[in-house]
Amino acid sequence: MSILIKNVELKGKSVDILTDGERITEIAPDLKVEAEHVIDKRHLAVIPSFYNTHTHAAMSLLRGVADDLHLMEWLEKHIWPLEAKMTDKDIYAGSKLSILEMIKSGTTFFNDMYWHPEVTIKAAKEMGVRASIGLTLLDGAGENGSKETVDRNFHILKEECNSTISLTIAPHAIYTVSEENLIWAKEFADKNDLMLHIHLAETETEVEGCIEKTGHRPVHYLEKIGFLGKNVIAAHNVWLEADEKDILNKREVKINHNPVSNMKLGVGNTFDYSAFKGVTLGTDGASSNNNLDMSEEMKIAALLQKHVSADPTRLPAREAFDMASMNGAHAFGYDAGRIKEGMLADMLLIDLRNPCMVPGLNVISDLVYAANGNSVDTTICNGKVLMEGRVVENEEKIREAAIAAARELIN
């Protein structure tokens, strides 16, 4: 598949862009080439697409079910009982809904942690996005969250992996996974060259529980049992002391930040952006956000850092944009996040006629501070057009299936 995009704005200049297969092959004004698919519209700017590094995609089905609660009450009384009723059909419908929302707001990769990984893989493949799918370990979930299930799923699902789909081992958190299973997860991931995806230091309660159970703060505990390394992506990282941040940096742990989820669940502290390099951004699940719009996530990340430090120079727009795009791509080994010849063709065309993008003096500033995901006109992933003119294939069917599944689940 080749795509020719004519007369698109890149860093203030009008250019043509050619993709061939997975990659951007040529960028120049007025290219005289043929392509299988041509996009020739005025008033579009090209930017790299978003990489969402912490999601629970199927939770879109639970959007709006239980708001305004503390994390443990929210999980134990509302989310976990509903999740226990979810079938693979529900998870498929919820994953499709989330991927639809992601494509419509410019996200082409998500790093997921949920149940029935095989159906989320199926959904991602059908819709053409990249995904890293967690094989979840969670002691309280019985056979579903056991290491035997993870092991079995890995051997079945590794056949599904390719340049767009990968697997992670996903021990849910310190407070839900035993030491024995955390160590097993680490060894299994290392042996099979996989990443590990874990929630870390999200709330003060988690820290207190970890100290009570193990005698150590969360990062010290994970360091002691040999869990940390550069194949770990840790979500949240809110309640950390200085020496814990040093350990995460020393071990080259990938850092994911979820400002909207943290603020909505009132976790009571703020992630320290300045302590880490290459921070990536995620929405978390739609039931603690309540959407998957990385444009909103960038804005709130930037505002939160400025607000808590009383310093408006912290987390400038360009850095917030890199957190949402390039940093996430690099954390998962993808050669994307810049519009350059040779890079993967993961990119968005932004409608510059959207009133919040006018007068268009600084596209990155407009994207971070003014726009939301609705300004995305076209979404391209791995050299394939997933949305053009805001139209995604089968959108109505996906929406109807999600509504039906959610109604049956809640009633």
**Residue numbers at the binding site for Zn ion (CB under 5 A):** 284
Closest CB 202 distance from Zn ion, rounded Å: 8
As a whole number of Å, the CA-based R_g of the chain is 21
Q: Residue 289: how many CA atoms within 13 Å on its side-chain side? A: 27
DSSP 175: T
* 3-class DSSP state of 232: strand
Closer CB to Zn ion, 16 or 284, in the complex: 284
Closer CB to Zn ion, 203 or 382, in the complex: 203
Q: Which residues contact 37 (CB under 8 A, 6 or more apart)?
A: 1, 2, 3, 4, 385
Closest CB 113 distance from Zn ion, rounded Å: 7
| Distance of alpha carbon 289 from alpha carbon 135, whole angstroms | 23
| Distance of alpha carbon 207 from alpha carbon 218, whole angstroms | 6
Closer CB to Zn ion, 97 or 350, in the complex: 97
Q: Which residue is nearest to Zn ion (CB)?
A: 284
Closer CB to Zn ion, 289 or 305, in the complex: 289
Handedness of CA 43, 372, 325, 332 (dihedral sign): negative
> H/E element holding 402?
helix 395-410
Q: What are phi and psi of 259, to 5 degrees?
A: -60, -40
Closest CB 235 distance from Zn ion, rounded Å: 6
Closest CB 301 distance from Zn ion, rounded Å: 16
Closest CB 177 distance from Zn ion, rounded Å: 14
Closer CB to Zn ion, 35 or 69, in the complex: 69
* 3-class DSSP state of 25: strand
| Distance of alpha carbon 171 from alpha carbon 137, whole angstroms | 4
For every residue of 112-152, DSSP letters joined together read: EEES-HHHHHHHHHHHT-EEEEEEEE-GGGGGGGSHHHHHH
Strands 107-114 and 130-137: parallel
Closer CB to Zn ion, 233 or 324, in the complex: 233
Closer CB to Zn ion, 22 or 284, in the complex: 284
Closer CB to Zn ion, 86 or 367, in the complex: 86
Closest CB 261 distance from Zn ion, rounded Å: 7
Closest CB 167 distance from Zn ion, rounded Å: 18
Closest CB 199 distance from Zn ion, rounded Å: 5
| Tokens read off for 123 | 């959904």
